[in-house]
Amino acid sequence: MVNKPSRQTDPLIGKDSWNIQLDSNGRLKHFLTIEGLGSEILSNILDTAESFANVNEQRVKKVPILRGKTIVNLFFEASTRTRTTFELAAKRLSADILNINISTSATSKGESLLDTLQNLQAMLCDMFIVRHSDSGAAHYIAGIVAPHISVINAGDGRHAHPTQAMLDMFTIRRKKGHDFGKLRVAIVGDILHSRVARSQIHALNILNTGQVRVIAPYTLLPTDIDDMGVTVFNDLRSGIRDVDVIIMLRLQKERMQGALLPSEHEYYSLYGLTEERLRAAKDDVIVMHPGPINRGVEIESRVADGNRSVILDQVTYGISVRMAIMSMVLGREPEQNEAEANP
Amino acid sequence: MDEIAKPDQLLEKLAADLEQLLDQRNIDDPLMVGIHTGGAWIATILHAKLGLSRPLATLDISFYRDDFSRIGMNPKVKPSSLPPQVEDKHIILVDDVLQTGRTIRAAMNEIFDYGRPASITLACLVDRSGRELPIQADVIGQHLHLQGNQHIKLNGPEPLGFIVT
């Protein structure tokens, strides 16, 4: 069982950075990264999400458990899917949710992040959902907010996107069953810039996946890839041979500095997932993508819209998984110091 | 404390009384719903004894509890398996022990989020003292007077047995 990662420090965030997300009883107080969590917590999230999937089939798609809680979507970086599914998840839990549009907020008038946070705290919020282009932003915020406030990382730089990884695990479990040990999973594309890939790799290893492969040119692999518990392939065709799950990543042009790739066209010709290439995988392979997809850059339209694609299922499951994480984080017995801070 | 009968005996009585009540009320195709976990065990047996044709449904009321902010998320929450068509159905809600009435309140709230039933009949194996809400069972295996600090719990599913502490 992989409960502790082999590396003791996260190169992007620093030593033992994952510890602050657990309270003294080992329950999630924040949800910042998959790294360092045990398989029990991950399974618990997936089981709870399964129950919330039922709620999303009710006529009234709403349960009252987070009534009276206030949640703030704090997105410093553009997002459609993640922000809206967090918003829907919060609403289906009966919480009140605010969307702060940073580009039109006081931050753009020169207010510091700390001042913005203190003002939101003064409005008696219970949870911040943070997306930021800097790695470690959510950890930083979790470290400075009042003790009764929880922080969920909705993507920080190239570091982590833990709720996306959990909805991907939920999708795999729904489509391929509970035993990850018999699965081969391949993650294809821009691993270097991908916070999604980092979180997925941690989650897959914690859940004891049979084999985790990454498929990318060397220029798009992080330097610490050999320590991440994956098998590296540079060739798509051999990399997806006999795999059960293929996760395609978006080519993150906005994060690329320098000549990492000759051209998009050449990337597609080497790493684009086409119907023809998909034949090397198992017959019942599923194709996943965290979105947004770039058709004709990393994936052929026929594959994205084909019968092995579960890309839109991922979006639907994202609501249940985010409901599970939010309710687990906010539904803890308050600890003594927190209770005093928020009587 | 009163002497408590064995669950099997109480189930016989519950099934007979329930059958009679359904006759009186002219309910011929009810939807039976057991509340996790003890109520679902009882409902499984009642459902078989009454030979109901409509499949048994179960309910986990964790998301509807009124003490969520005090006790937090139940880590063992199970999916509810209520069919989407509760609209205009006659529902028999089944639980093991009726005490405060809060579980039944939560269960009824959840049922109404699936649709508007024609009626709800409540069947409980044990009706113990300690009500905090105006909720009564229609069919009861046994009334039991317990002190406020006494607890009764159904163990199961095989064999069923009560534990009083």
- Tell me the pLDDT tens digit for each residue of B25-72: 999 999 999 999 999 999 999 999 999 999 999 999 988 888 876 777
For chains A and B, CB pairs below 8 A equal 56
Q: Identify the H or E element spanning A162.
A: helix A162-176
Helices (H) and strands (E) in chain B, counts: 4, 7
Contact state of A331 with B72 under an 8 Å Cβ cutoff: yes
Contact state of A50 with B79 under an 8 Å Cβ cutoff: yes
pLDDT beyond 70 at A255: no
- Show the domains of chain B with their CATH numbers: 7-164 (3.40.50.2020)
Q: Which residues of A touch B115 (CB under 8 A)?
A: 59
Rounded to 5 degrees, φ, ψ at A72 are: -115, 125
Q: How far apart are CA A3 and CA A15, in angstroms?
A: 16
Of B73, B84, B115, the CB nearest to A331: B73
Of B63, B77, B113, the CB nearest to A59: B113
pLDDT beyond 70 at A231: yes
Helices (H), B72-117: 102-114
pLDDT attached to residue A106 = 67
pLDDT attached to residue A342 = 45
Q: How far apart are CA A234 and CA A254, in angstroms?
A: 23
Q: How far apart are CA B79 and CA B36, in angstroms?
A: 10
**Residues near A310 by Cβ (< 8 Å), separated by ≥ 6?**
A171, A175, A286, A287, A288
Q: Of residues B48 and B158, which shows the higher confidence score?
A: B48
Helices (H), chain B: 7-24, 38-50, 68-71, 102-114
pLDDT attached to residue A343 = 39
Three-class SS state of A95: coil
Q: Is A274 exposed, middle or buried (0-12, 13-18, 19+ CB in 10 A)?
A: middle
Q: Which residues of B touch A332 (CB under 8 A)?
A: 72-73
* Average pLDDT of the segment spanning A320-331: 94
Q: What residue of B is the nearest CA neighbor of A43?
A: B75
pLDDT in tens, B103-156: 999 999 999 988 899 999 999 999 999 999 999 999 999 999 998 889 999 998
Contact state of A54 with B79 under an 8 Å Cβ cutoff: yes
Could you report how far apart the first and last alpha carbons of chain B are, in Å? Answer: 11
Contact state of A54 with B80 under an 8 Å Cβ cutoff: yes
**Residues near A326 by Cβ (< 8 Å), separated by ≥ 6?**
A66, A71, A86, A89, A90, A93, A95, A127, A152
CA distances from B149 to B4, B66, B128, B152, B165 (A): 17, 21, 12, 10, 9
Q: Of residues A258 and B58, which shows the higher confidence score?
A: B58
Could you report how far apart the first and last alpha carbons of chain A are, in Å? Answer: 40
Q: What residue of B is the nearest CA neighbor of A331?
A: B72
pLDDT attached to residue A9 = 47
Q: Which residues of B touch A55 (CB under 8 A)?
A: 63
Q: Which residues of A touch B114 (CB under 8 A)?
A: 58-60
Q: How far is CA B119 from the centre of its chain?
A: 15
Three-class SS state of B155: strand
pLDDT beyond 90 at A11: no
Cβ contact B63:A55 at 8 Å: yes
Contact state of A63 with B65 under an 8 Å Cβ cutoff: no
Of A44, A65, A328, the CB nearest to B63: A65
- Kindly state the tokens that stand for A244: 């059960």
pLDDT in tens, A259-281: 677 788 889 999 999 999 999 99
- Kindly state the tokens that stand for A55: 């709620």
Q: Identify the H or E element spanning A47.
A: helix A39-55
pLDDT attached to residue A12 = 60
Contact state of A51 with B115 under an 8 Å Cβ cutoff: no
pTM of the model: 0.86
Cβ contact A153:A31 at 8 Å: yes
pLDDT beyond 80 at A241: yes
pLDDT attached to residue A13 = 61
pLDDT attached to residue B1 = 55
pLDDT beyond 70 at A144: yes
pLDDT beyond 50 at A5: no
Q: pLDDT band at residue A111, thresholds of 50, 70 and 90? A: confident
pLDDT in tens, A286-300: 999 999 999 999 999
Q: What residue of A is the nearest CA neighbor of B111?
A: A58
Q: pLDDT band at residue A334, thresholds of 50, 70 and 90? A: low
Distance from CA of B161 to the nearest CA of A (A): 28
Q: pLDDT band at residue B2, thresholds of 50, 70 and 90? A: low
pLDDT attached to residue A114 = 86
B157: region left, alpha or beta (phi > 0 left; psi from -120 to 50 alpha): alpha
Contact state of B109 with A327 under an 8 Å Cβ cutoff: no
* Average pLDDT of the segment spanning B155-164: 90
Q: Which residues of B touch A50 (CB under 8 A)?
A: 79
